Structure 1
C-alpha cells in the first residue's frame, strides 16, 4: 500500500489526477494525448511494469528481482517464440493493466470526475442496454454519494459480513421502482439482454403498481430480493444495479428509485456522513477491489472512524 502524506494544498490530489489521467489513456491506447512527460512503475501479476512518455512512449517489463527491463511490445509480438533461456513468458491472457481503477474522492472538486471518469461511466451505463453485451467491469470507476443504496443492497444481498458495525438497525424494507413501459420496450428489442432479465426478475404477475402510470413500486424484504434475483458474484450484482439504476439518461433508467428502510424508520439519507463514507469504503475494499485493482482514496482518514483506524475491518 502506498500512502501520500502532506500539508493541505501540497498537491496530493493532483497526484491522484495524474495517475487517473495516465491509466485512462492506457486503457484506450491514447497516451500520446497527454500533455506531460512521465515515468510510471507498478507491479501486476508478479511482474514489474514500466510505462514512460518522453520523446517516445515505451512499455517495459521485468521480474521484481531483475535489473534489466524488456520491451513489452516486443515480447507480445514474439509470443511463444521467446528463447528458452528467457526469464519469463507471457500467456495470451496476460494483461499489463490494472483490472480496474477505483477512485473514492471526498472533495467537492469535480475535475477528476469530469476529465477521466465521466465518459467511461456513461459508456458503461448505455452499452449493455443497447446490446446483448455482458455487463463487464467498468475500468474507471468513480464512487460517490450516488452509490449509497446500490452499495448497501449489493452487500446485504451478497451477505457481506460486518455491516452491523456500520448500520445498527435491521434492514426492514427495500423499495424498488421500475419503469415498466421502458422495460417492456427493451425486452421486445433485446429479449436476451441480461440487464432486462435482471430487472424483470423483480416483477411478478401478482405485483401491484403504486398508481403512477408506467411505474411499478415494489416493497420487498431482503429474503424476497434474494429469492428473485440471480447473480454469480457480488461484483456482478453491483454492475447490474448500476446499469439499471444509475444512468443519467431517463431513457435508459429501468430502476427509477431504490430505497432501503430500516427498523427505526430511517433510510440511507438519514445516515451520518461517517456512516455513508464507511459504506462506500467497505464497498470498495470488500466488494469491488480485486487482486489487480488500483484504489485511489483522497483523504482516506476522512472515511475511517478514529477508533477504527488500526482495524482492517474499520
Structure 2
C-alpha cells in the first residue's frame, strides 16, 4: 500500500494538518512536541476503528491510499463528533465493506517505554488474539496462527527474530547478520517449554511445538534440519522462516514456550548486542516476517540508542520492502535525514507541516552547510531571537554561558545556529530578508572579533552608523531591515588581540585545553607537516575547551555578560510594546518621530537600559532594562526612589543587578539615568540614540 493523501483535524495538537505523498516512504522530522508522534497515534486510531468497525473517533480525517493491486481507497470522516459515520470509496465507488481493502497488517515499533499507544490501539487486538489461541486449545479449534492485524513489536522477541533470520535462506538476511550484527555463526538454541504442554489441544502452533519439544537444547544445525526437512523426506515437513516466526510468537505470548535463547559467535547472547543493534534486529525481522505486502509500518524514532555510524543502516534496511509496504518513520536525527530524499521528508512544527515554500527557501539558502534536520530546527524555532554564529564551538560556549547566567537575563531567550563560516552569514540574512516571510523574529549575526570577522562585517552590507553602539543593522531601508543585526564579539576588558569565542575565558582555561590536546595524542608529530600538526592541535584544543566549559563556574563566564547585554539591547531596540505598563504615571505612547529609542552610554557598571523621551520632558524606561545594584552616598534622593520602586515591585533584584519588571516613567532624563547608574549624572549626556547622538542634541534643536 501507499498513502497518497492524509488529513487530520482535531487530534491533540494536529489541527487541519494534511499532506500529499508520492514516494517510497514517509519521514516525519521535527523537534520534540512538533506533533510527529501524534500523527502516528492518529493513524493507529483510524485503523484500529476500521478493523473493529467502531465509530468513536473524535477527530476528522481523510485518508487515501493505493494497494499493490492498484485499487484506490478513500476513507473520510468529515466532523470531529464521536459516533458519526465514516464513508468509504473503492475506486471511486461507495462500498460499505472496507475490510478486504485495509492493510494486511499495521506494525508499530516504538523506541521508548511509553505504553499509551499500546493500550489504546494495539492491546485490544493482542488480547483478542490470545483469547482465540486459548479458545483453540480449550475447544480443539484448529487455529491457523495468523498474527493479529495490528502488532506492537518489542524487546521480548529479540531471540525469535534472530533465530528466524538465521534460518532464512535469503542472502540479504544472512548478510544482515554478518555485516550489521557481526554474527558469524549461531551455535545453539535452547527453549523452556510449559511443563503442562500436554494439556493444550491441537492447533498449528502446538503442532510445530510438538516437533521441537523433545529436546530443550539444540545445535543450530540440528534445529535447522528438524524444522526444514526436505519435502521428499519423512513427513514432508518444511517450515518457512515466516511460519516459524508466527508459531514462536504465538507460543511465547501464550506461555507454551517460556523463553527462547540463542548462543552465537562461540559464547555470546542477545544481551551482548548493543541497544541499537537489537533495534535494527527488530526492524529487519518485522519487515521480513511480521507483515505481508500491503502492510503499514509505523516506526517512532527508530534511530534511538543506535550509534551514529549505524543510523544510515535503518534506511538501508527498508530497500527490499518499501515497494509494497508503506513505511512511516519519525526522527530528529541529522544522520537519518541526510539519507532521505527531499520528497519523502515532511517537516513538522507545533502540530503542523512547515509549508513547502519555506522549506524550499531555507533549503536553497542553507543546503551547503545544513541538512534537513538543521533546516527543520531553524524553521521550527519558537524563539523571538535567532543567533547566527560562525562555528559549532561558538554555539556550545554561548549555550553554556547562558545556562550559567540566565538568572541575570530573565527576559532573554534565543536559539543558536552555526553557519560554519563567517562568509556565509550575511548571504543567509539577506536571503531571509528578501524572502519576506521570516521577519517575525530578530536575527543577530555574531562574528569573531578577529581579522576575518572584522572584514566580513566591514566590507559592506551592515550600517556603519551604528558601530559605536556595538551592533549594526543590515543596510538599505532601515525600517524594513530592523529584524537583522550583526555584531563583533565584545572583547574582554584589557584584551587587545584578535578575539574568538575561546578568548572570552581567562587564558588559563585554553592553556589547560591545549595541554590536554598534547597529552592525549603524541601521534600529532608523526609523519605530518608542521602546519598539519598545528591545525590538529588547535582544533583538538578548541574541542577540549568546548567539552569542559559545560562544567565551568559562573564566574568563568563573566566576559559573556557584555555579549548578553548587547543582545538584550537589540531585543529592546525595536520594542513593539507601545502601551505603557500601569504605574503611578501610565499612559499610551504613540509611535511618532519624537519617540526615538535611547540607551545609556557606555559605562563602567555593566548595565544596559532602553528608554523613550516623551512629552518633551520625561523619560520612559522600558521593561527589562537594568539598574546598578549599589548607590553612592551622595545619591540620597535616588536611593529613596529606588527603595520605593523596589517596594512597588517595579524593580526586582536579579543577582547583582536590578531589572525593571515593567515600563516606568521618570520626571526627567537625569532622574532616570541617576537611578540606573546609582550615582549623580547628567541624563542629557548619558542617554544616546542609535547614532551615538546625546539626548542633549534633541533639546538644543527644539
TM-score range relative to shorter protein? 0.7 to 0.9
State which of 235, 238, 246 in structure 1 corresponds to 2:242. 235
In 1, Cα distance between equivalents of 2:291 and 2:146:
14
Q: Does 1:246 align with 2:246?
A: no
Moved more, 227-236 or 20-29: 227-236
The 8 Å contact of residues 178 and 256 in structure 1, kept in 2 or not, is answered as yes
Q: Does 1:167 align with 2:181?
A: yes
Q: Does 1:183 align with 2:193?
A: no
C-alpha change, 1:309 and 1:53, in structure 2 (3 Å) is: closer
C-alpha change, 1:289 and 1:172, in structure 2 (3 Å) is: same
In 1, Cα distance between equivalents of 2:315 and 2:47:
31
The residue that corresponds to 1:112 in the other structure is 117
Quote the offset at 1:222 in angstroms. 1.6
The residue that corresponds to 2:277 in the other structure is 275
Q: Does 1:60 align with 2:58?
A: no
In 1, Cα distance between equivalents of 2:122 and 2:318:
28
Q: What secondary structure sits across from 1:142 in the alignment?
A: strand
Quote the offset at 1:12 in angstroms. 0.5
In 1, Cα distance between equivalents of 2:198 and 2:143:
18
In 1, Cα distance between equivalents of 2:131 and 2:226:
24
Q: Does 1:14 align with 2:14?
A: no
Q: Gaps spanning 5+ residues in structure 1: where? A: 63-68, 77-89, 208-217, 248-252
Deviations 1:165-218 (A, max 9, x none): 2332421111111123x21111xxx2x3212211111133xx5xxxxxxxxxx1
Quote the offset at 1:47 in angstroms. 1.7
In 1, Cα distance between equivalents of 2:77 and 2:297:
23
Q: What secondary structure sits across from 2:27 in the alignment?
A: coil
The residue that corresponds to 1:210 in the other structure is none
The residue that corresponds to 1:80 in the other structure is none
Q: What secondary structure sits across from 1:124 in the alignment?
A: helix
CA RMSD of aligned residues (A): 2.3
Q: Does 1:142 align with 2:147?
A: no
Q: What secondary structure sits across from 1:123 in the alignment?
A: helix
Quote the offset at 1:117 in angstroms. 0.7
Quote the offset at 1:231 in angstroms. 5.3
Quote the offset at 1:289 in angstroms. 3.4
| Higher RCO (CA < 8 A, seq sep 6+) | 1
State which of 38, 41, 53 in structure 2 corresponds to 1:29. 53
Deviations 1:45-88 (A, max 9, x none): 312211111253200122xxxxxx32123xx6xxxxxxxxxxxx
C-alpha change, 1:151 and 1:109, in structure 2 (3 Å) is: same
The residue that corresponds to 2:161 in the other structure is 151
The 8 Å contact of residues 166 and 279 in structure 1, kept in 2 or not, is answered as no
Q: Does 1:40 align with 2:63?
A: yes
TM-score (norm 2): 0.36
C-alpha change, 1:232 and 1:258, in structure 2 (3 Å) is: closer
Deviations 1:238-274 (A, max 9, x none): 1110111123xxxxx1111111112342210221011
C-alpha change, 1:311 and 1:197, in structure 2 (3 Å) is: closer
Q: What secondary structure sits across from 1:291 in the alignment?
A: coil
Quote the offset at 1:236 in angstroms. 1.9
C-alpha change, 1:309 and 1:284, in structure 2 (3 Å) is: closer
Q: Structure 1 stretches (4+) deviating beyond 6 angstroms?
A: none
C-alpha change, 1:37 and 1:313, in structure 2 (3 Å) is: closer
Greater Rg over alpha carbons, structure: 2
Aligned length: 267
Q: Gaps spanning 5+ residues in structure 2: where? A: 1-24, 79-83, 137-141, 228-236, 320-702
Moved more, 289-298 or 166-175: 166-175
The residue that corresponds to 2:218 in the other structure is 220
Moved more, 122-131 or 10-19: 122-131
The residue that corresponds to 1:71 in the other structure is 94
Q: What secondary structure sits across from 1:311 in the alignment?
A: helix
TM-score (norm 1): 0.78
Q: What secondary structure sits across from 2:34 in the alignment?
A: coil
In 2, Cα distance between equivalents of 1:158 and 1:130:
31
